[in-house]
Structure 1
Amino acid sequence: MSDDHAHSGPHADPAAALDDPAAVLRTGRARLRGLLASCPPAPGAGGPGREVVSQAEALLGTEAVPRSAYASWLHFAATALGHTGYADRIAAEAPRLPWRTVWAWYRPVGAYEAHPNLSGGANADVFERAGDGRRFVRVSAMWCPETWIDLGTGARSTTAPEGVTEVDEDLSPDGPWLFDPEDGPAPFTPEEWEEPLQVAPGRYLLVVARGLFLVEENRHPAQGEAQEAEEAEEPEEPEEPEEPGEAPAPAPWFADGGDGAGPLTARRLDEVFGVGNVVRVPAAGLPEALRHPATRNLLSGAGLPGFWAAGSVAFRAESDGPRPDSADGLLRLGGFDFGYCDEGEVLVDGATGAVLLRQPDATFGSGGEEPFPLCGDTEVFVRFLEGVRRHMGSCWDGHAAEGGGSGFLRSMRALDPDALDDDSSGEVWEHVFAGITELGVDGF
């Protein structure tokens, strides 16, 4: 690649330059990293190109790959991010890319999302529908409810298609395959990309901790039969891998800010905790003692997780919403089962919205009937629980660029540093967070 088209002048918008796949493919990776680094950090300061290029660079890290292979990684990043239009433009500009991504249900680097999370091992079985021969994959894991995916389109459903039976054949590749570490044509293969299912000639389904995706070998680039015949007679020299330069890859960037940015909504909590596992109470049904407007809005709108668990800790909300607990305006939201001590009652102050914990045996706090502050309000409480679910994958099977448990703790600290610094509440949250920072997917 050359740097000739990296920018059009000293005042060019670097983010806009990244939105042009043709320009990206003509630009050296070191220069691309420079463009990424010069973009403003704020959410919204860029488009799909900035998301795609920063994702590809995060995935590749220090690996040097030829231009055609780099196009494949850009195509994968765009598909995983949902930027199918950008992926199509990459494929059009680089018809000789060695492999393409047909579809991907995959957690991008730096995208702290609850789903998909296939940590701990996934079950993936291929089924075929009678009549039209259409194939589907059924996938499930400890933290992934059973999901059916159309192998042709990537469309997902929680219900099984009608008329399907499991494919009774060995789907292991019958020879060297695309990402074969010894004989495969792809110049770089992540370690976890192994043991694929060959679901069609040249098409491979890969199931990894961060999701699953279908890739295909580009056996017949769109060059025209005559040109292909000519190239077969006079093969091109192998492309030289291009070094990414000395500058580290900038962190993946997301237009919406990433890492749980944005308001809590009913749809968002349903996606994280599961439909039917969020308690919402119509405003008219909330107790009069709950006078705090923001808390009332949250409990009647976004809601509260009905059941939540990580490691040895579980939380269960009051199924009918908060109920009065004492004459001084406290209401019970639910309770923590800590696994080895008395239950911790989660309370909310009806006037201020502050969340408190009562833990009688003094494992946390001073014990007895006197509650102590747990966090600033119910929104922080929900975001802490949601944050654990969103960061599970990055803590258990994270990418090197994500920071694992330390990255998760930084994100939680940004929500309510006082709750984590206080001796009593800090100890509670340390125990809650340990479910993903210290324990593995199996709870040990």
Structure 2
Amino acid sequence: MNEELDDVLADPARLLTADRAAVRGHIAAEDGAGDVGREGPEVFLQAEAIFGSDDVTRAEFASWLHFAAKATGHEEYAERIAKAEPGMPWRTVWAWWRPANWFIAHPSLNGDYYQVHRRLHEDRLLIEVATDWRGCLWLDAETGGRVRLQVEGTLPVAPSAREALDAPDLNDWNLTAPVSWEGAAAFAAEGGRTRYLVQSASGLAVIETDAEVLRDWPRGEGIDCGSADEALPETEPEVRRPKGPLTADRVDDAFGERYVLRIPESDLPEGLEHPGSRRFLRDIGLPTMWLCHGAEYEARRPEAMRPPTDDELPGDGLPEGVTASDLITFGTVDYGDLYLHRHDGSVHIWSRLDGLTDKTLVRLAPDLDVFTRVLEAVYRYSNACWHPYLVEGGQDAVAEVFKDEIDELSPGLFDPETPCGEVWSWLYAGITELGVDGF
């Protein structure tokens, strides 16, 4: 039976008619992971994580699987699903979407921070996404691909075609989908096909319907969102997060290119001897701004990165063996000024840990790489903490995954019994203790 279910997961045509409970149990037992590749199990689990476990028709389940395949980047598997079930009530053109248990910088559309507009740029239709203070990003409306632009002012609004204005609402049909599908807006129509833009905290998607396919589809009750809002079986998709070294592209993606500082070799802070810190500031880049509810970080300008005076950093608050001349100021957060040890590259904060008047120097990270990775991780986990899928278990459960990742990166960094862990808890509380609106 296990080999048979391996074959089912490898073949979308068979998966569409399989006993979903049996498939679910097979994946949970990890019996078929080695032979069929990851796309079948991943697409199946993501479809149920996003849409729920309700029993729907083969055609509608194909729509779910097709969306999950697009969202996870399994394009060839998506094509095989579409070929196996041409009667899908809707198909996914593209999905810029955070799958369950994926902890990534984008997409991450939180609360009222984001706005979505359709724009024109050189006769090209773009989806403009204003995520937060980091500014706008643009997606090609045809493909969903990221478009890099440097624009002054606001791009012109894209007009809606008459055919799209006259198109039926997606909510006219009896479908089973998350609540975001109810408000899907038609923006293009041609040859009996209509395209809709779906907006959700999880991301954006363009889906397409075919009037001929929907001719006899039931209508009148609208989209049923109950499946996506009910408890799911305890079969979780695999955790996915960035691997490998922190790169310049990854820093730009997380913090926004305009908020990353790279300092030429000739302009690096005077006296900075640590090779890793020099390389990081020169090649990887230091975020210049970071916000998370009550916590705000800002980097200093290169010319202001200098050793503190004895008045700024009195010796009675310094640990043994460290002097003010060993340190270089590079930034500040609400809870104190940040310093880089010019010999060993460690990051420190001059903090009010012992009260409003008794400040002390707390070692915050072993280097700029770890410091920046933690700030980036707060952004990467924010969407899941504030808008978790049911299968992710809620904010507290996601917060533990976040903390576990940092513990793998730098063991003990978040230990609440240490000054370092206490200071960090003030900075990441915005995603682990507060909601998207800061309460």
State TM-score, norm by structure 2: 0.77
Give the counterpart of 1:354 among 331, 346, 352. 346
Distance 1:203 1:378 in 2: 45
Residue 363 of structure 1, CA deviation: 4.2
Task: Please give the secondary structure, in 1, of the residue aligned with 2:401.
Answer: helix
Matches within 5 A, 1:236-385: 248-253=233-238, 258-282=240-264, 285-287=267-269, 289-320=271-302, 323-325=306-308, 326=323, 329-338=326-335, 344-359=336-351, 362-363=354-355, 367-368=358-359, 370-385=360-375
Partner of 1:237: none
Q: Which has the higher helix share?
A: 2
Count of aligned pairs between the two proteins: 400
**Alpha-carbon distance between aligned partners in 1 of 2:33 and 2:425, rounded to the nearest angstrom:** 30
Change (3 A) 1:278 1:71: same
User: Identity of paired residues, percent?
Assistant: 36
Q: Root-mean-square deviation (CA), in Å? A: 3.9
Is the CA contact 1:172–1:195 (under 8 Å) kept in the aligned structure 2? no
For structure 2, the 5+ residue unaligned runs are 217-226, 309-322
Does 2:134 correspond to 1:151?
A: no
Partner of 2:202: 210
Q: Which amino acid aligns with 2:184?
A: P
Q: Identify which range, 421-430 or 64-73, moves more after superposition.
A: 421-430
Corresponding residue of 1:185: 174
CA distance in 1, matches of 2:35, 2:351: 44
Closer/same/farther in 2, CA of residues 279 and 123 from structure 1, 3 Å limit: closer
Query: Does the 8 A contact of 2:66 with 2:78 survive in 1?
Result: yes
Aligned-pair CA distance for 1:70: 1.4
CA-to-partner distance for each residue in 1:44-86, whole Å, 9 max, x for gaps? 9943333322211222333222222111111101111222222
Corresponding residue of 1:194: 182
Relative to the length of structure 1, the TM-score reads 0.76
Q: Flag the 1:379–1:149 CA change in 2: closer, same or farther, 3 A.
A: closer
Contact 2:330 2:339 in 1 (8 A): yes
Partners of 1:39 and 1:45 within 8 A in 2: no
Distance 2:232 2:119 in 1: 46
CA contact (8 A) 2:128 2:138 kept: yes
Question: Corresponding residue for 1:113?
Answer: 104
Query: For residue 140 of structure 1, what is the aligned residue in structure 2?
Result: 130
Residues 206-243 of structure 1 show CA distances to partners (whole Å, capped at 9, x for unaligned) of 11112111111243459xxxxx9xxx8xxxxxxxxxx9
What corresponds to 1:341 in structure 2? none
CA distance in 1, matches of 2:212, 2:155: 34
Contact 2:413/2:420 (8 A) holds in 1: yes
The equivalent residue for 1:437 is 432
Task: Tell whether 2:419 aligns with 1:424.
Answer: yes
The alpha-carbon distance between structure 1 residues 435 and 129, as it changes in their structure 2 partners (threshold 3 A), is: closer
Q: Which residue of 2 aligns with 1:79?
A: 70
Q: Which AA in structure 1 matches 2:436?
A: V
DSSP-derived class of the 1:418 partner? coil
How far off is 1:377 after superposition? 3.1
CA contact (8 A) 1:33 1:247 kept: no
* CA separation of 1:138 and 1:420: change in aligned 2, threshold 3 A: closer
Q: Structure 1: give runs of 5+ residues left out of the alignment.
A: 223-227, 233-242, 339-343
Contact 1:345 1:359 in 2 (8 A): yes
Does structure 2 conserve the Cα–Cα contact (< 8 Å) formed by 1:107 and 1:115?
A: yes
Describe the shift of the 1:135–1:334 C-alpha distance in structure 2 as closer, same or farther (beyond 3 A). closer
